[in-house]
Structure 1
Amino acid sequence: MKLVNEKDVYDNEEILNYKCIEPYNEIPEGRFICKNGKWRGNFDCTSKICPPPPYVENGDYIIRDRDGEVITEVQYTCKTYYVLSKQKQYYKCVNGIWETPPKCLSESCFSK
């Protein structure tokens, strides 16, 4: 984020404009307003670029799909003696946010 009209002190009702910097410029700019000593407004610098897939303790993932160099879909697996908490085949990143991944649970917790 880059502040457009940055200064040290702002008056009541004064507006502070900002511009979002790539790749977080899906919404290119926004503003805050100073009201009674507090800033009002939403911070909306977002990106559709997916971060790396979430880490799963005692597990790993297999890349299912990419958009160039960016991973967009994975399949989770667990280490030996662990099983997935959910039996969903693939997990996707949509608009820069990953679906909640499964957990790897110890097999010893399950009856055989």
Structure 2
Amino acid sequence: MVQREESARMQRSKPPPGPVRTCIGCRKRELAVELLRVVAVDSGDGPGNGQVVVIVDTAKALPGRGAWLHPRSECLHAAVRRRAFGRALRITGSPDITAVIERFDSSERPDTAAPREQVAKNMSTP
């Protein structure tokens, strides 16, 4: 019987203990349980107005395409700077991410949270 020696790559690569997703801010891969899922929903201002709102899916069960983000302000700022929300959620135009920004503001200490004006300024910069 022929025994094969496992390569170093085969020895190192164990399957992760759950689904792995990529953060849209820093582009690092992480277990889905460590990331926040965000989804795009219609704003409800009326049919056909095209306004899209991005919200945090805390139960990770809302329908539609989702994007994943580390719960750190650095990743939020990187995603805003790179305009990653629209690309990851496959929506045209710039979505309203106020709900996501408020979630980060409420979950962090006031001295480490970035001002909302700075995030809004980064969104409007071409």
Fold shared per TM-score above 0.5: no
Larger RCO (CA within 8 A; separation ≥ 6):
2
The structure that is helix-richer by fraction is 2
- Give the TM-score normalised by the residue count of structure 2: 0.23
- Give the TM-score normalised by the residue count of structure 1: 0.25
Q: Which has the larger radius of gyration?
A: 1
The structure that is strand-richer by fraction is 1
